[in-house]
A and B are shown apart, each in its own frame.
Chain A
Amino acid sequence: MSTYKNRLSLTGLVLLAGTACGGGEAPVIADGIPESLEAFELRDLESVDAVEAVGFTGPGDTPFKVQQRTTQIGAFPCTSCHTEGEASLASVRSRAQRTLSPNQAPATAADPSALRGAHQNIQPGHPSTSGGQCATCHSSTNLEELVLQNGTTASLDEAYRLCSGCHYQQADDWAGGAHGKRLAGWKGERVVMSCTQCHNPHAPAFDQRIPFPGPSIPRTGKIPTGAPHS
């Protein structure tokens, strides 16, 4: 699998700010968009896991595919830490019993303690209208499912179905191609990234950061002479 995937899984989304998650250590797994995607390197579709979009069609009513999320989330499946079955939210395996997800990046795999306090960096708050409770979006009975606005459930690969419940305008743009990113190329099979590939669902706004260096001659043919050029 590509380095791209590894990088994403490093910053991978982890599920639910579980009350039972103990440990005083600082959380190591951070949510958020990657600092740099190094994305202009070839992303061939063979290295991308994708599934058919549900409930959306692209331009000209053509179906398209959406990149999978469950193969990227660092600690997926949840049962690698949480026990299976009902009420699993409150039940966490003892550390000795935890297994490592195949998605985990080598750095994490080498040091399983990195997973301690995995969800503690999540600041509930989105969506703000409902107070941003975990159960607003996550099923409280099955950790690996999202619960849609109409009460039905959806896989974590189908986050766009949940997001579009409120952000319908963005979802239309996304299906049409004006929002989001297409993978691999402009031609051939259309595979797009899902909402949560770029947006941290717990804090969807993009962060501020220092940009890559600007031009040495910003606008005109004049060469800057030490003084700030404006």
Chain B
Amino acid sequence: MNRREMTFDDVLQYVGQEQINAKAPQGPTAGVARSQAGGCGGTCSSQAPVMPGRTASEATMAAVGAARVAPPFPGDVPGALKPEENTILQKTVGRRKALGMLFGGIAAGSQAACTGIGASEEEKEAKLLEWQEYFKGNFRLMSDEEKTKTISRLERLAELRQGTDVNIKATPAQPGVEYGYAFNISKCKGYRNCVDACIKENNLDRKTGTQFIRIFEMEDGEIDLHDANADFQHQVPAEGHFYMGTQCFQCANPPCVDVCPVGATWQEPDGITVIDYDWCIGCRYCLAACPYWARRFNWSEPEVPAVEVNPNQHYLGNRSRKKGVVEKCTFCVQRSREGRLPACAEACPTGARVFGNVLDPNSEIRWVLENKRVFRLKEELGTEPRFWYFMD
């Protein structure tokens, strides 16, 4: 990552405010040169919800002024700047952090401006949290403290925006664990209990009916998924058919990770390929790269009724997603890292799904791999799925 260190004065330069460096700013009226702003101009005005009645330039100047003069930052808001942090003028900070603080200031200034014309305290808090969220870093580069902060912001935002009381974890991969999954095509009956459990566990969008798992109905003797039917809706198991489930296979050589231009998706040490939903830019290269159609894109804001939200969440797993980002199966990272089975494996009424640690020689998954006849889907592609099919 490009983490060029900048001073606060550099930041001011960055937004084209050289003039005010010379003279101390005098509040909002000092803002005249904003229209000349360089790098940030377009982005700011498109991303920043500039409050009615104020131009972006005024808001920026208010923020800059505020930062230099002293403390109109809302110190009572969680995560907001505290007065002692204003010594930033003499410190070096990352570009992202500096911009975040600037824009945090814009938000604060804007809020100050529109207090009394409708925005409630909660709305203000949510807005500020969203600002701070917007400028956070990639999950892999966060310190533990930053992780704690972003999680508490996300939990608070879920409360403010969705009215849900969620518990987001960032449990890391367990040492000595690599997950493997086996699917018994002799046992699956096509009941789709796994699909139902997956939707509920992973807070999948109910509006568009997102599903991570597909169960293919295959004719006996057939092995080509092209001729199979994934949207059967009749009494199952149907005579003369078998059923084959697909989902994300958590490949050991994942093409989806290779193509991501921003490093928003990666493979964890325990083999699970995860997505930082706040880093994803929605380019969907990974959807094109995946040979198993395992990834899903949120074309619209995902909707889950508040009462149906699963509150046991993981930052890289089933926390709420937003419009324009990609999501996928994570072997229920929020469950598997705590020693539990993925929801699909636990819900399967036929015992067709076997899950475990392939590094443990006494695990069930190892027993299956060593004693049953197994194969993987499109093995010739070299993706090395961690998902095997087997039969009795």
Residues of A within 8 A of B (CB): 33-34, 36-40, 42-43, 58-60, 62, 169-170, 173, 176-182, 184-188, 190, 198, 206, 208-216, 218-220, 229-230
Asked whether, in the complex, the Cβ of B341 is within 8 Å of the Cβ of A179, the reply is no
Asked whether, in the complex, the Cβ of B368 is within 8 Å of the Cβ of A177, the reply is yes
Asked whether, in the complex, the Cβ of A37 is within 8 Å of the Cβ of B233, the reply is no
A182-B341 CB under 8 A given contacts A39-B346, A212-B195: yes
A211-B346 CB under 8 A given contacts A173-B392, A179-B351, A219-B293: no
Residues of B within 8 A of A (CB): 182, 184, 187, 189-193, 195-197, 200-201, 208-209, 211, 214-215, 229-237, 293, 336, 338-341, 343-344, 346-351, 354-357, 361-368, 371-372, 390, 392
Give chain A's interface secondary structure class. Answer: loop
* A185 cross-chain contacts in B, Cβ below 8 A: 338-341
A-B contact count (CB 8 A): 150
A40-B346 CB under 8 A given contacts A60-B362, A185-B341, A211-B232: yes
Q: Which residue of A lies closest to B212 (CB)?
A: A215
Asked whether, in the complex, the Cβ of A62 is within 8 Å of the Cβ of B347, the reply is no
Q: Which residue of A lies closest to B336 (CB)?
A: A186
* B356 cross-chain contacts in A, Cβ below 8 A: 177, 186
* A209 cross-chain contacts in B, Cβ below 8 A: 191, 235-236
Asked whether, in the complex, the Cβ of A178 is within 8 Å of the Cβ of B193, the reply is no
Give 5 new A-B contacts, CB below 8 A, not counting A212-B193, A216-B209: A60-B362, A173-B392, A177-B354, A211-B191, A214-B195
A189 to B184, CA, bound (A): 23
Determine which of A40, A42, A178 lies in contact with B390 in the assembled complex, contact meaning CB atoms within 8 Å. A178
Q: Which residue of A lies closest to B208 (CB)?
A: A216
A178-B336 CB under 8 A given contacts A36-B193, A37-B193, A39-B193: no
A21 to B210, CA, bound (A): 51
A212 to B366, CA, bound (A): 31
Asked whether, in the complex, the Cβ of B363 is within 8 Å of the Cβ of A186, the reply is yes
A129 to B89, CA, bound (A): 88
* B192 cross-chain contacts in A, Cβ below 8 A: 211-214
A202 to B173, CA, bound (A): 45
* B293 cross-chain contacts in A, Cβ below 8 A: 219-220
Q: Which residue of A lies closest to B371 (CB)?
A: A176
A176-B197 CB under 8 A given contacts A208-B237, A213-B233: no
* B364 cross-chain contacts in A, Cβ below 8 A: 58-59, 176-178, 182, 186, 190
A220 to B366, CA, bound (A): 33
User: Shortest distance in angstroms between A118's beta carbon and chain B's nearest beta carbon?
Assistant: 24
